[in-house]
């Protein structure tokens, strides 16, 4: 029994030692993940969040029209409109940049993990060369990442729906909570399926898009369920462990900017390492699953 439980974590051990097998490739990839996480956090905390807070306070003031004269209300409304436009532009720009950067990060991490696990020892430049000139096809992972993005957008609707449809209706609070919990659970499960699906499309060039996600779903829920549950725990616990450090770092913002930046850098490094580890774990999980004839036979029967 203990041996069976331990076997569920073998792929995590393999994923953990994978970067040590090719440090000349994984070191710059980890650095890229950390730098992008740091910059994203910096932009969010320095530019985006203060603007959101300012807009929130202005909207509260606008709603409290009883204490404002007509002139004050008109002036406050005029001052709020440019901020709203700026907030929309920043949000849109941030989404576009995050999508592009996220795509690059996933591609580099997946091919770094897959090539290293298969025995190749590329440097970053040696890996980028075939990716750029097309010798390594990006079509499969690109299609799968696009499908994952579309499903992620669809799963985001249940988060917004309770607030916009049920807001102010006390009788449906329990329904709102249920929908939110189900959305959280669905999002978490889909995150793992998406990780395995994108990894599958990087390993198997013929497996992409919906087909890759369907195969990942069968692996996680039917064939390798115990390992799939471990992946779910990794996907949940990783960000959960790192998140408090970010809040702790922001607590030092008023006391010491240098200390705050240092803590944010540490948080970004941990966040980047955790994200890279999740992608590597999904890749190793898929490799080890497909190396088993029993798994392949089981997939055909699903």
pLDDT tens profile 213-266? 988 888 888 878 888 888 888 888 888 888 888 777 777 767 777 888 888 888
**Quick one: pLDDT at residue 89?**
78
First to last CA, the chain: 26
Mean pLDDT of the region 169-187: 61
**What's the pLDDT at 144?**
92
pTM above 0.85, yes or no: no
For the ranges 71-80, 234-243, 291-300, the maximum mean pLDDT occurs at: 234-243
Helices marked H in the chain: 2-7, 10-21, 23-43, 49-63, 70-117, 124-133, 139-165, 173-203, 210-218, 225-250, 257-290, 293-301
- Which whole number is the average pLDDT over 184-200? 84
- Statement: residue 170 has pLDDT above 50: no
Is residue 284 predicted with pLDDT exceeding 80? yes
């Amino acid at each position: 029994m203990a041996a069976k439980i331990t076997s569920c974590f073998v792929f995590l051990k393999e994923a953990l030692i994978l970067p040590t097998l090719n440090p000349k490739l994984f070191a710059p990839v980890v650095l890229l993940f950390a730098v992008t996480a740091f910059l994203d956090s910096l932009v969010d905390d320095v530019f985006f969040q203060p603007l959101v807070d300012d807009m929130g306070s202005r909207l509260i003031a606008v709603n409290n029209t009883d204490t404002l004269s007509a002139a004050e209300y008109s002036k406050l409304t005029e001052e709020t409109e440019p901020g709203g436009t700026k907030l929309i532009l920043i949000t849109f720009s941030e989404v576009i940049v995050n999508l592009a950067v996220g795509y690059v990060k996933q591609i580099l991490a997946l091919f770094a993990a897959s090539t290293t696990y298969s025995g190749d020892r590329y440097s970053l430049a040696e890996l980028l060369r075939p990716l750029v000139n097309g010798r390594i096809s990006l079509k499969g992972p690109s299609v799968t990442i696009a499908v994952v993005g579309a499903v992620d957008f669809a799963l985001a609707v249940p988060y917004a729906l309770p607030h916009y449809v049920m807001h102010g209706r006390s009788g449906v609070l329990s329904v709102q909570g249920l929908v939110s919990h189900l959305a959280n659970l669905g999002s978490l499960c889909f995150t793992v399926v998406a990780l395995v699906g994108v990894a599958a499309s990087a390993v198997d060039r013929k497996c992409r898009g919906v087909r890759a996600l369907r195969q990942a779903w069968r692996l996680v829920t039917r064939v390798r369920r115990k390992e799939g549950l471990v992946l779910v725990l990794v996907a949940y616990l990783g960000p959960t462990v790192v998140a408090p450090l970010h809040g702790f770092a922001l607590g030092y913002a008023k006391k010491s900017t240098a200390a705050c930046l240092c803590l944010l850098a540490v948080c970004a490094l941990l966040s980047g390492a955790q994200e890279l580890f999740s992608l590597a774990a999904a890749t190793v999980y898929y490799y080890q699953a497909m190396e088993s004839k029993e798994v392949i036979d089981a997939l055909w029967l699903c």
